[in-house]
Structure 1
Amino acid sequence: MSLVPPPTPERAVQRLPSPAPFWPWLAFAAVALALSVAAFVAAADIGRSRAVASERAAAENAATLAIAVLRGELEKQRAVPLILARDPDVRRALDGGDPHAIDTKFDAIAGETRASVIYLLDRRGVAIAASNWDEPASFVGSDYSFRDYYLTAMAQGTAEQFALGTVSNQPGLYISSRVDGPQGPLGVVVVKVQFDRVEADWKALGGQIYVADARGVVLLSTVEAWRFHVEHALSPAAIADIRHSLQFGAAPLVPLPFTRAGELLRAGEVAGRFVDARIAVPTTGWSLDVLLPVDRAIRSEQARLQLIAALLLMPGLGLAAELMRRRRRAQARLLADAQIKAELEQRVVARTAELAGANARLTEEIAERARAQERLSDAREELAKANRLATLGQVTAGVAHEINQPLAAMRTYAENARAFLKRGEPAGAEGALGRVVGLTERIGAITETLRGFARRGDGVVEPTPLSDAIAGALMILDAPLRQSGIRPVLTAVPPDLRVMGRRVELEQVLVNLMRNAIEALALVPPADPTAPPLVLGVRAEEELVIITVADRGPGLSEQQVADLFTPFRSSKAKGLGLGLVICQDIVSRFGGTLTAACRPGEGCVFTIALRRAP
């Protein structure tokens, strides 16, 4: 070994690299803050939409229940005047008998049916008997010939009218039925129904409920101040007609104090915002509206989604910070290495005559090379893992959609199970819960496949079932394939066919090749629409297993094919030119080969040749 010559002054002076600046951390913090703000704003918007939709569905359910309560009361009371119109005692009272004989009868029936008042009008429209005959506000002797329920019943047989009582000043529904005799109409039986119990039952459903007639006048309401308001301003002629008929007395008939902001509603003095649902009341000209408060549901759903966004962002930002920290540490090591190298060179210059110093330097260089080789191996594995994570990033949207569908279905089945349990139907609840269990297994299969794909390989080449690797790659790409409308054709793979390799990295190679095919097919549709756009073929030989990935995309030129496996050369506008290089390196470490054959306008065929496991 020759001795190192004495150093010149210029050679002794070393320019050491400056320490890494601190500004990248500031930029990282700014990007992380922007992503967090955007994620929280998006989560708040989505949470608001989901909460509004959920509460609107609940309002529609509450409206259905409220109508059931109202119809039950209506149908029960409608039968009373029809039955009494055929009662012989009622006919005798109208045909010259003693009307006081049926006062007590009406009183007993009103108590049993919970009707407000039952009374009998003669041909002139004058009340001759009433269930409240012994009260100060008795209807007996009052003239009701001007009421629509009297005039319509005398003309058509039956009638219904919601009005304010002229004697009691209490609102209610008047249901009337004509009493016919041998010589013609004798009079009219009237049942007045008040809905205090119905309104009390409505309050148990939550929110606010009101019923309006065909003109928009509020008849029933859980908010007393809304009664006899109108949904829309009435014309002067309509108001004059109502005043003349004394239907609602001196009620103001002013519009309801509602203001709408988008899809939400504010209800005057009732605090908060509401979603509303309207359903027509069958057998009447009425409509029923349910207003459910939505502010608490919006806040809860926004907080839940923002928590999920935070939980999703934290690992990603943590991983980015770790990668950045490693890069800075690598820069610091380079600086330290440069300083060590300068110090070693100074020692060599000082000991040019000493062979022991040269041997020590040689030993240090050998050790450094071994460490560099180890770092190179680690870097190669980390690069492959980064490629897999990049692939996972591209399919994240599809996978999120794939998981959201089972989650939405699970919620529906869970709500069905709760409804079955409330109705005492355990068989239906068991079926719904069984479907929930099946959907959780589906989500578990998806997440387990992605977690295995992102895991770092252990470096051991071993017999690997080829069917498992192909199934894992297809599951990872399931969402992009379906979104692109591509149905790959797969050659049947024997379950016992195994190759020498590692499953995670073999999946990575297959995912890269098929993803490239999907992107190529998105650029130019196949010339022959009847031919399969993507074909995955498997052929077993004595010592080798041949896997082909063929697409009907635009293909590549000869120069592009020659550059396929050259680092940092890519035919894609935003490609890095590393995907196929990594795939070729992985296949080579398995002891196999990866080749490509392309023709412009006819697509590409990538062929993987792997050793067949014994």
Structure 2
Amino acid sequence: MPRALIFTGACLAVVAAFEVSRRTVRATLLNEAQITAQSRVQTLESILAVQRAVAGTLADDGLARAALVSGDTDLAEQVSRKLEYLRAETGSTIIYLIDTEGLTISASNWQEPVSFVGGNYAFREYFRKAVTEGRALEYALGRNSGRPGLYLSHDIRAEGELVGIIVVKMEFEAMEAGWARSAAPSHVTDPTGQVVLASDPSLRFSQPPAAAGRLAVHEAVAGAPGWQLTLYTSAAASWRAGIGGGLVMSAVLALVFALGRRRRRIIEARRAVKEAALQYQRDLEQAVEDRTRLLKAEVEERRNAEERLAHMQGELVQANKLATLGQVTAGLAHEVNQPLATIRLLADNGVALLDDDPEETRANLRQIAGMTERIDRITTQLRGFARKATGELKAVPVREVIEASVLLTASRRRARGAQLVIRGDDPDLKVRAEAVRLEQVLVNLIQNAQEALHDTADPVITLTVTADATTVTFDLRDNGPGIEPAMVGQLFMPFATSKSEGLGLGLVIARDIARDLGGELSLAPPEPGQGAHFILRLQRA
């Protein structure tokens, strides 16, 4: 074969090895960058989803709607307290409530020197778009703070009419700082192509930089229309791999040429080169596969963690119910342990009497069956009370709900020596509600009454049920010391409590549940010498 042809083939082989190695590593780098970009987008989308859920939930909040419609400053202050609590729980920067004229009536920073309360934001795009379209998203600098952030707004309507706008602002400094610590810089652009988030804050509100010899991948942000994340990674590794592949191929060819003209050695050398190239390819592909698998596992783990976080933030009412369940569980444990001990004793007696007295053995077994039915009733009520509410309203028998609530509070009541009197629980009477949530309200009221009777002689709790054509009324009172005058006005405010270990959320959540069921929970006017008197009204089914 002519030397020129051999030389040309060798050069082509070196070039091919260079290109294959470079492209393979480039594909690996792009794949890793794509996975990292997807992970960052998923983190951003999860943050947006949580904050959008906060805005959507507050858009349906009865207290916020009442403050907007009535113009009552006391209600507006209650909303501010609620927004302050939610901001701390959800990680928002600030949450505020605006009326239809753009005037802020409530804000989570209501007690700070730079409070938004009283400020007018009718000029903001997020306000104008929420008025016309219901929802809006705007990334801008804060008028007071000068700090950039994303504003999410949602309209609030009463009977179909616009009454106000709820706004949630979030800042991304922590997330951008995390990006900055990474070797792969990234930024997010809005629909106009302007940078809004970046690992380099100096790029914010400008056009994105050129790739400049770097590899770039792009991912759309599902939670923000028109937003796109761009991530850069260095292309130097692909060029080094190409040079390495070319050098390897050059070395292999030099070895082939050194073998001389003998055909057999040339064939063997070519086979060795081919095998080395294939092995190199296999090793490289295996390395890519291993790295991809690890990255996918990391992404999946992060996605699961974010889903758990979003789920936990949506379970505030369920957490309160489980806290109530924890208070009654200790007493109910005694209710279960007592029949369990009896079962054990009867079983031991049955074994001893199995041959001598079969009749007494059968009697023991019948008692064991009765005890297990008792345990089953207790655990069934516990499971029913602990399960998550579905939100579906239907006709619920009043007697069944009362019986479940009485069972869940029985042990603590007996421990305190209190008597519970039930009047008017007609077996045919039904109420429009959800059993789990109605039980939560009744258990809360009964437990509060039991705790109030701690130092009362001959303690008595009376639950009277009455009904007319449209309404069922639950009238619960006790013969304790009653509500302290200083607490009457703030009884249903969050964190207002006279108990040393109380959080002040039980009655607040109970009243919210009553409103969700289409009813109302209130405190009857105090009477001298009488205990506390609560009235729960719901729609008759």
- TM-score when scaled to structure 2? 0.48
Determine which structure has more spread, i.e. the larger CA radius of gyration.
Answer: 1
